[in-house]
Amino acid sequence: MSGKEGRRQGVSENREFQDKVLTCADCGQEFTWGAAEQAFFKEKGFTNEPKRCKDCRDAKKVQRGDAGGKGSR
Ligand SMILES: [Zn+2]
């Protein structure tokens, strides 16, 4: 209940994104690219879809010793 209905013609963020099943380029497993994550990507300005599942991305981060996160790219 948001009181007035004044903003219903604005883009509702959650409608724009739907969970999507992608295939990981690394392990070949299917993974779900959730709506929330898609919104996050968009917010960050990423225009392409993730190529890897979360596991592989995490693994890569650890491998590179990048867990702390310097935003190099
Ligand atoms: Zn993977």
CA of 13 to the centre of ligand 1 (A): 27
Q: Which of 1, 42, 44, 5 is nearest to 20 (CA)?
A: 42
Is the pTM higher than 0.75? The answer reads no
pLDDT in tens, the chain (73 residues): 656 655 555 555 557 899 999 999 999 999 999 999 999 999 999 999 999 999 999 998 888 876 555 555 5
Gap from CA of 29 to ligand 1 centroid (Å)? 6
Q: For residue 16, report the distance from its CA to the centre of ligand 1, in Å.
A: 25
Residues in Cβ contact with 46 at an 8 Å cutoff, skipping those fewer than 6 apart: none
Cα(15) to centroid of ligand 1, in Å?
A: 27
In the chain, what are the domain boundaries? 3-64
